[in-house]
Structure 1
Amino acid sequence: MSLIDLENNYFIAKFLLVEDMRHVLSGGPWQIAEQYVVTQQWKPGFNAKEEKITHMTAWVQINGLNVEYFRSDVMEKIGNLSGTIVKVDAHTMSQARGKFARVCVKLDLAKPLTPFIEVEGRS
């Protein structure tokens, strides 16, 4: 992979293998120095001076949820309360971790973030 720096903190990543590009686009969300990196496939006409980031994916941690709710249907409903569900953490789905659940959601940055979600009286 090689990086080309553009204006406004944008980069173009060039990949030798299509599989590597797919992994970066679908395997995230990615963080560098605890900051989320927004990835998207190149589109013709991209202008780094004018482009605005309107959506991003992020992990949402859900604390205090009973393990019996660690099911894909429940996680999808909970995740969709804060954004659009992208995927559920593998440890959550396998119930390997019980302290919290994690879901990856696509967030609309034009809308306010939801700091708390209440599930059966718990937030």
Structure 2
Amino acid sequence: MMLWKLISLCPCAAAEDIEWEEPDPSDVEEDFSNDDDDVCPNIEFTKEEIKSFRAPWWGSLLLKVLGRRVGYMYLRKRLESLWRPERRHVAVSFGSDYFLVKFEHLEDRRFARTEGPRMVLGHYLTVHPSVPDFDPQEVQIDRTAVWLHIPKFPMEYYNEVCLRRIANRLEKIAKIDFNTKADEKGKFARLCVEVNLNRWLRAKFRIRGKPFLVEYEGIHSVCFGCGR
């Protein structure tokens, strides 16, 4: 059994900076299932047929709300509010709380995959490039993008060099909240980082010997064992 590892790719300032591991439309794997019997017949298709089956869904995105079950109709309305797409998009429920979204407009897709991370009912909405032969029962979510806060942070450290260095020591930096970067928020620094769901998060760090606490927004609702 193949276990897919989906990585929720972190949003950043420019879409071209993101490496999307999307399947090559021209690459169709060989069918090694040669066993055929009356109990479980093997249905065969040519490579050209497989390409034609997959073609309408190339470029779709897989979505999952971590830590909470969300109904199909509610999520559709919530996505309309979050993304405000220019054209129609198709959403399909996959089971195991996964949803597949197909876009008619490339700019709508770019916005959905790069602007965020977004939250639904206080839980993170993960966004992944679609994969062929996707089976929600054979999926493992390894990483996701989250917001972290540094409360009571000294104002002299509110600069991009300092904030990036701190975030990269804690996790992998994705971006700095625009208002934080522009020194327009004085209460806390807000950073977007990519966290590993298979390990403990760092809860504090030190500068010149002084400890500072780190708060992860919405992370209380994520089970680090299964990503739910």
Q: What is the TM-score when the length of structure 2 is the normalising length? A: 0.52
- Distance in 1 of aligned mates of 2:173 and 2:134: 27
Unaligned runs of 5+ in 2: 1-88, 213-228
**How far off is 1:67 after superposition?**
1.7
Alignment RMSD (CA, Å): 1.2
State which of 183, 204, 210 in structure 2 corresponds to 1:116: 204
Match of 1:100 in 2: 188
Matches of 2:133 and 2:155, distance apart in 1? 47
1:64 aligns with 2:176: no
Query: AA paired with 1:2?
Result: V
Do the aligned residues in 1 keep the contact of 2:167 with 2:191 (CA within 8 Å)? yes
What is the distance in 2 between the residues matched to 1:47 and 1:117?
Answer: 40
Name the counterpart of 2:179: 91
**How much identity, in percent, do the aligned residues show?**
27
Q: Secondary structure at the match of 1:52?
A: strand
Q: 2:161 aligns with which of 57, 67, 73?
A: 73
* Aligned counterparts of 1:104 and 1:119: Cα–Cα separation in 2: 20
1:50-79 CA-partner distances (Å, limit 9, x unpaired): 111100000001112112211111111111
Q: Which amino acid aligns with 2:176?
A: V
**Cα shift at 1:111:** 1.2
* Counterpart secondary structure, 2:127: coil
Q: Does 1:51 align with 2:139?
A: yes
In structure 1, runs of 5+ residues without a counterpart are none
- Cα offset for 1:103? 0.5
Q: Which fold has the larger relative contact order, with Cα–Cα distance below 8 Å and residues 6 or more apart in sequence?
A: 2
- Provide the rounded CA distance (Å) in 2 between the counterparts of 1:68 and 1:19: 38
Calculate the TM-score normalised by the size of structure 1: 0.93
Query: In 1, Cα distance between the equivalents of 2:123 and 2:95?
Result: 19
Residues 64 and 100 in structure 1, CA contact (< 8 A), matched pair in contact too? yes
Find the aligned partners of 1:14 and 1:108 in 2 and give their Cα distance. 27
2:170 aligned to which of 60, 82, 91 = 82
Contact (CA 8 Å) 1:64, 1:122: kept in 2 or not? no
- 1: CA distance between counterparts of 2:109 and 2:203? 32
| Greater C-alpha radius of gyration | 2
Quote the offset at 1:91 in angstroms. 0.6
SS in 2 for 1:117: strand
Number of residue-to-residue matches in the alignment: 123
Q: Which amino acid aligns with 2:199?
A: K
> Is 1:11 matched up with 2:99?
yes
Q: Could you say what secondary structure the match of 1:20 adopts?
A: helix
